[in-house]
């Protein structure tokens, strides 16, 4: 169908991808002279006029969304039996390809991508729209790793379709409520998806980014649906032990079977993840970074060990760095390294709870059992203290260690003054005694 002209305006250049409901083409808008993405519905879906009307209504609603993390919809139309949506063309790939090529992804990258996904979908939630089919294939990534969520509305419109059997009975077996690997338990039971359903799907995507595998598997759609409804929620740390406890708790919450136990909207989850990231960076990074798709130089004398092995998480061979360690050139042309700043939240952290910010500590060059710019993390209160060179101490230095000599001198002076005072009072006591006897 390449080199075809749709409505004397959109010239198809090349097929970019396909799915169960549509085929996507890279096309040229001859009227505005710009490259666009043209999503053409499959002919099997165009026989239901009620569906087509809902599809157009959903597309118009999405066209009114203007957010940097949502693919912009330019136009919706038809020519004969060809029904299409014209969208912003994203020069990049989708999140599924990144997962296949690079998972498990660095923890800080997972958090940053998830925040962007939540911000885009959360913006739609505030506008009254539910995505209903959140999955990595519908999360596009620009070359700068900016998230663009796409395919709003198609699954939502298609979910209301019904099929009629030859004997006249209405069947719902062909109704699509989302992708079975990612849909929420209530979607698996045939209920209408809600913003909390999208939150559940985001949790599945986060689990997959962190581990390289899906939390629930099955041989067919029915088995997957039963797993979402009945199977216990897996702990991401069982497959990726280096995931911080605080992040594991967030993912476990958003994958709750009951939608009332999850975050209500995606934007709320996005704020929770942003708060987690900010707190984690305060405890792990001297200079907190903002993810933007580029290379990040590691601090000098950094010695970040590879993550520990897990069930589906293989550590690199001895002497080699993890896959995401790659030499890069800094601005001054001196070779450096980029590395994963895996957020590590303090043990007392809980989402939404305010934690006191610790004062900055001066950097020292002495080694410590836990490398973090010369500081050792205590793990209970989030505080840290430098180790003095050459002491071989296993505990942080206390104020008494550095001020003990001053404390002893003051004590001696006060003791001498007390003795002098007592000596001066002795003659007075003697005179009082003589007066009492006389």
- Just list the catalytic residues: 133
Q: Which residues, listed in sequence order, are joined to residue 375 by a DSSP beta bridge?
A: 386
Give the CA distances from residue 67 to residues 93, 114, 151, 195, 432, in Å, rounded to whole numbers and listed in that order. 19, 16, 14, 17, 93
Among 141, 140, 136, which residue's Cα sits nearest to residue 181?
136
Q: What is the helix, strand, coil percentage profile of the chain, to 5?
A: 35, 15, 45
Cβ–Cβ under 8 Å, residues 239 and 251? no
- Under 8 Å CB-to-CB from 337, ≥6 apart: which residues? 297, 298, 302, 321, 325, 326, 327, 328
Structure tokens at 273: 């993840």
Residue 263 Ramachandran class (φ > 0 left, ψ -120 to 50 alpha, else beta): beta
Among the listed residues 204, 318, 198, the one whose alpha carbon sits nearest the alpha carbon of residue 265: 198
d(CA 166, CA 172): 14
CB atoms < 10 A from the CB of 86, how many? Answer: 23
Return d(Cα 247, Cα 273) in angstroms, integer: 8
CA 152 to chain centre: 21
Longest alpha-carbon distance in the chain: 134
- Angstrom CA distances, 141 to 29, 204, 382, 422, stand at 22, 18, 35, 83
Query: Is the bond preceding residue 104 a cis peptide, omega within 30 degrees?
Result: yes
Contact in structure between 202 and 273 (CB atoms under 8 Å): no
**Spatial separation of the C-alpha atoms in residues 156 and 179, rounded to whole Å:** 12
Q: Cβ of 390: how many Cβ atoms within 10 Å?
A: 7
Measured CA to CA, the distance from residue 100 to residue 102 in angstroms comes to: 6
Of 71, 88, 76, 84, whose CA–CA distance to 4 is shortest? Answer: 84
């Amino acid at each position: 169908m390449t080199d075809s002209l749709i409505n004397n305006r959109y010239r198809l250049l090349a097929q970019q991808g396909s799915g169960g409901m549509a085929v996507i083409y890279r096309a040229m808008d001859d009227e505005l002279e710009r490259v666009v993405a043209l999503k053409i519905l499959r002919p099997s879906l165009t026989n239901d006029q009620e569906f087509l009307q809902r599809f157009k209504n959903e597309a118009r609603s999405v066209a009114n969304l203007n957010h940097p993390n949502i693919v912009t919809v330019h136009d919706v139309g038809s020519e004969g039996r060809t029904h299409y949506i014209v969208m912003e063309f994203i020069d990049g790939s989708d999140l599924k390809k990144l997962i296949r090529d690079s998972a498990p992804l660095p923890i800080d990258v997972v958090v940053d991508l998830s925040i962007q996904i939540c911000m885009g979908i959360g913006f739609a939630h505030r506008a009254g729209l539910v995505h209903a089919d959140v999955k990595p294939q519908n999360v596009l990534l620009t070359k700068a790793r900016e998230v663009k969520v796409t395919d709003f509305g198609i699954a939502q419109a298609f979910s209301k379709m019904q099929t009629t059997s030859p004997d006249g009975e209405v069947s719902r077996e062909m109704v699509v409520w989302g992708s079975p690997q990612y849909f929420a338990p209530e979607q698996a039971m045939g209920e209408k998806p809600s913003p909390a359903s999208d939150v559940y799907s985001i949790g599945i995507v986060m689990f997959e980014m962190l581990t390289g595998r899906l939390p629930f598997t099955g041989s067919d759609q029915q088995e997957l649906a039963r797993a979402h409804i009945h199977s216990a929620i897996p702990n991401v740390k069982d497959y990726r032990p280096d995931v911080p406890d605080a992040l594991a708790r967030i993912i476990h919450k958003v994958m709750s079977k009951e939608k009332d136990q999850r975050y209500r909207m995606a934007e709320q989850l996005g704020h929770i993840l942003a708060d987690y990231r900010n707190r984690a960076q305060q405890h792990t990074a001297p200079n907190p970074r903002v993810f933007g798709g580029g290379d990040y130089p590691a601090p000098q004398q950094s010695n970040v060990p590879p993550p520990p092995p897990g069930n589906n998480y293989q550590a690199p061979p001895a002497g080699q760095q993890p896959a995401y360690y790659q030499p890069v050139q800094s601005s001054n042309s001196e070779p450096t390294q980029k590395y994963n700043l895996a957020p590590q939240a303090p043990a007392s952290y809980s989402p939404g709870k305010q934690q006191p910010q610790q004062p900055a500590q001066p950097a020292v060059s002495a080694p410590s059992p836990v490398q973090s710019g010369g500081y050792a993390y205590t793990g209970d209160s989030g505080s840290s203290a430098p180790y003095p060179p050459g002491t071989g101490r296993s505990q942080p230095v206390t104020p008494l260690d550095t001020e003990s000599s001053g404390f002893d001198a003051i004590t001696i002076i006060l003791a001498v003054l007390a003795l002098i005072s007592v000596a001066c009072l002795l003659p007075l006591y003697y005179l009082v005694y003589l007066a009492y006897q006389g």
